[in-house]
Structure 1
Amino acid sequence: MRILHIDHHQYRKYGHLRVSWARKLYTGLIRAGHNVLAFSDRDVAKFEAPLGIRDLGRKRTNKRLLQTVDAFQPELIIFGHCDLIDNATFTEIRRRHPDVILAGCNNDPLFVPRNAANIKSRCIIADAMFVSTGPRELASFTGNRAKLWHMPNPVDPSEETADASNLEGTDPALHTDLLFCSKSESYTERGKLISKVKAALPTNFRFHTPGMFDQPTLWGRDYERKLAASKMGLNLNRQEGYQWYSSARIAQMAGNGLLIFTNEAAAFDDFMPSETLAYFDDEGALLNSIRKFHHDDAMRRHWAGRCREFFHREINNTLYAQYIVEAATETQFSHDYVWVQ
């Protein structure tokens, strides 16, 4: 299938890439056998704008998208967080190419008002809308053109290449006992939990929190190396309790073989096997679980290995991409996707 993929493809990062679900979708589409063209709205806007001022390139970017669609003639357009592209442009695309299918993807949380409003707006023009929150919360967006679907956070076997579960806890390559990377402080109080956990753990426990407490944030290869050197990771969202919602860090940690602690309120046990994710419901339960896995390295490796294997087998970006194509085009599923229930 001819697919145009609109998102931030990070051309101007010049190799210093952030781990990106959009990049994983793009490579997954190619691995699934599709003819895919990338359109990076933010980069095009910067390139096209007078004096390189991105916000001044919005109008030209929408024109370039129309030009691209006319030339490439995609059968399916998948668009992500491309805020520079106006709904009016998608309406014009549909007018010029009435058979094209429009599929939107949103990997941001619903508790951010701007993001919820963006999903609602895109549902007006899209045929299908894929959101990283589960179907329970997506019911509020029904009633427009788009059919609502959940999408998970996938691993990419070419990006998540390390396997900490293969290494014994005493291996010098593992120089972090517990990892939590974050820089976002809006709509959250998780910093309080991090501070309490830090204070309760022994001083020789290597709990590293890049991006917090005035520590520099890690990107690109620095972040990849940090994941590969960590035994366990915290999957703390800015807010908890949304069905199947998680930051993309869950796939980054799972794919690299870290033992993951995650809040049970997200109900990932709906489709995750037992002895994969370590669930907790409060600070005390989290601390007990951290101590248990820290002192039982065989159990840490067993759970982390099972989780890594499951993600790479069932929640990889090729299956993820093909699911989005099949759901958007209303084609019979070619795989028993674990998140479809």
Structure 2
Amino acid sequence: MATVTELPFDIDNRRVLLVGFSERYKYFGQMFYATFQMMRNGFIRAGTGAYLFSDRDTADFAAPLAIRQLGKIAANKKLLTLVDELEPVAIGLMHCDLITDQTIEQIRRVHPKVSIFSYFIDPIHIDLQHDRFARFVSLSDVSFATTAGPALAKFRKYGNVGFMPNPIDPTVFFARSFQRDHHQHDFFFAGKPKGRDSLLTELEGLLPSRNCGFYMRVARGSKFAIGGATYHTVLGRSKIAINAAVDDSPYFYSSDRVAQYFSAGCLVAQPNGAKLDELYGPSTMLSFSDAQELADKAEDLLQSGRWKEIARHGQERAVAVSNSELIARYMIDRCADQQSFDWPAWSNEFYTK
């Protein structure tokens, strides 16, 4: 456990302001397990005072009829006021697209000693997200993404960039499916169907006797097919959770569902492309290249019961490799340009401008 003296920040100011995410207005508890919440707890356990500011919620509440763009000016003004009052030692930006470049520039002018970092969990290798991440990198002293390798390295022209795994926090989201005798689903998936439905449909055809719990969100902005505590409960009663990808993911990239699947104690079924077995270690997941290989491997593991041991080992390794306190301490060190503890192996994925 981290202590105050182990951290590189000024002992008299350990306040960290985390900016981003919409919790109260849009999701209202449906995503209590979101990365933003995991990292808040991680920073607290790392010995800092973590304060939250949602640009989206602030804009929604400030605008007539909750028209977000009309509340954008108010959100930026509120952030400036909060920074003046709080005087944080560091500010973390996560997908806070409503915060303008001018606001960040003003914060730097008024508070020249503050460290600004960003962290990004969307796929930076696709065109839609490239410019978003590049903007945050250019605004920050250091930035982190859940993508590694060449796909991350190319952003070094905008600033310092490093890899971070999708964080796990057992106090927020945890179950031990591998300890259960009775399960609700043999296979589980929750998310948007685009780019994934063909794999899931083919798997159902290959294993018609298996119970598949596939919860599909109809479209962006629509209500989740499953969320909140129900998502946690059903996932924790599923044997194999499929981390189906939209496309061929780059090195180490996955959506944050991989952390939720490990946390629930399921056997994670993971496409080969991202090479996540190199991140979490051998015998931690079921790797596959197509639906046929997934069906063959899964059926063997389900019939023998060996899926439980792999799921147990996967959860242990995932918690060790990617717990939110570890990630927060690493971020703090990078912001301070110091090393206060033994960094994990994945910290080698760091590229300076």
Per the TM alignment, residue 113 of structure 1 is displaced from its structure 2 partner at its CA by 1.8
Partner of 1:265: 273
Partner of 1:306: 313
- Residue type matched to 2:57 in 1? D
Tell me the secondary structure at the aligned position of residue 340 of structure 1: helix
Partner of 2:328: 321
- Count of matched residue pairs: 331
User: Could you tell me how far apart the structure 2 residues matched to 1:160 and 1:291 are?
Assistant: 27
User: Could you tell me how far apart the structure 1 residues matched to 2:122 and 2:218 are?
Assistant: 24
Q: Please report the TM-score for the alignment, with normalisation by the length of structure 1.
A: 0.92
Do residues 199 (structure 1) and 205 (structure 2) align?
A: yes
Residue from 211, 216, 223 that aligns with 1:211: 216
Per the TM alignment, residue 245 of structure 1 is displaced from its structure 2 partner at its CA by 0.2
Partner of 2:76: 62
Instruction: Give CA-to-partner distance per residue, 1:33-82, whole Å, 9 cap, x none.
Output: 10121111111111222343222100111111111111111111001011
Instruction: Give CA-to-partner distance per residue, 1:180-218, whole Å, 9 cap, x none.
Output: 111252xxx22111111111112x310110116899710
Structure 1 vs Structure 2: percent identity of aligned residues? 28
Whether the 8 Å contact between 2:148 and 2:250 is mirrored in structure 1 is yes
Residue from 126, 130, 147 that aligns with 2:140: 126
Whether the 8 Å contact between 1:9 and 1:22 is mirrored in structure 2 is no
Partner of 1:39: 53
Do residues 175 (structure 1) and 184 (structure 2) align?
A: yes
Partner of 1:53: 67
Do residues 85 (structure 1) and 85 (structure 2) align?
A: no
Residue from 143, 147, 166 that aligns with 1:153: 166
Residue from 20, 24, 46 that aligns with 1:11: 24
Tell me the secondary structure at the aligned position of residue 187 of structure 2: strand
Partner of 1:281: 289
Tell me the secondary structure at the aligned position of residue 37 of structure 2: helix
User: Could you tell me how far apart the structure 2 residues matched to 1:43 and 1:216 are?
Assistant: 19
Partner of 1:20: 34
Per the TM alignment, residue 106 of structure 1 is displaced from its structure 2 partner at its CA by 0.7
Do residues 294 (structure 1) and 329 (structure 2) align?
A: no
Instruction: Give CA-to-partner distance per residue, 1:291-313, whole Å, 9 cap, x none.
Output: 1111111x111100001111222
Whether the 8 Å contact between 1:18 and 1:219 is mirrored in structure 2 is no
Of 330-339 and 283-292, more deviation after overlay is shown by: 330-339
Residue from 241, 246, 250 that aligns with 2:249: 241
Partner of 1:110: 124
Unaligned stretches of 5+ residues in structure 2: 1-13, 349-353
Tell me the secondary structure at the aligned position of residue 139 of structure 2: coil
User: Could you tell me how far apart the structure 2 residues matched to 1:314 and 1:28 are?
Assistant: 13
Per the TM alignment, residue 160 of structure 1 is displaced from its structure 2 partner at its CA by 2.4
Instruction: Give CA-to-partner distance per residue, 1:64-105, whole Å, 9 cap, x none.
Output: 111111111111100101111011110111111111111011
Tell me the secondary structure at the aligned position of residue 268 of structure 2: strand
Do residues 229 (structure 1) and 237 (structure 2) align?
A: yes
Whether the 8 Å contact between 1:104 and 1:128 is mirrored in structure 2 is yes
Unaligned stretches of 5+ residues in structure 1: none
- Residue type matched to 1:194 in 2? L
- Residue type matched to 1:36 in 2? A
- Residue type matched to 2:23 in 1? Q
Whether the 8 Å contact between 1:181 and 1:210 is mirrored in structure 2 is yes
Per the TM alignment, residue 25 of structure 1 is displaced from its structure 2 partner at its CA by 0.6
- Residue type matched to 1:315 in 2? S
Residue from 332, 341, 351 that aligns with 1:334: 341
Per the TM alignment, residue 314 of structure 1 is displaced from its structure 2 partner at its CA by 2.7
Whether the 8 Å contact between 2:186 and 2:239 is mirrored in structure 1 is yes
- Residue type matched to 2:86 in 1? F
Do residues 96 (structure 1) and 110 (structure 2) align?
A: yes
Per the TM alignment, residue 340 of structure 1 is displaced from its structure 2 partner at its CA by 2.1
Do residues 137 (structure 1) and 146 (structure 2) align?
A: no
User: Could you tell me how far apart the structure 2 residues matched to 1:51 and 1:272 are?
Assistant: 45
User: Could you tell me how far apart the structure 1 residues matched to 2:315 and 2:60 are?
Assistant: 38
| Runs of 4+ more than 4 Å apart | 212-216
User: Could you tell me how far apart the structure 1 residues matched to 2:196 and 2:302 are?
Assistant: 22
Per the TM alignment, residue 331 of structure 1 is displaced from its structure 2 partner at its CA by 1.7
Residue from 176, 187, 198 that aligns with 1:163: 176
Tell me the secondary structure at the aligned position of residue 210 of structure 1: strand
User: Could you tell me how far apart the structure 1 residues matched to 2:319 and 2:138 are?
Assistant: 34
Instruction: Give CA-to-partner distance per residue, 1:199-252, whole Å, 9 cap, x none.
Output: 1112x3101101168997101011011111101110112112310000111110
Q: Please report the TM-score for the alignment, with normalisation by the length of structure 2.
A: 0.89
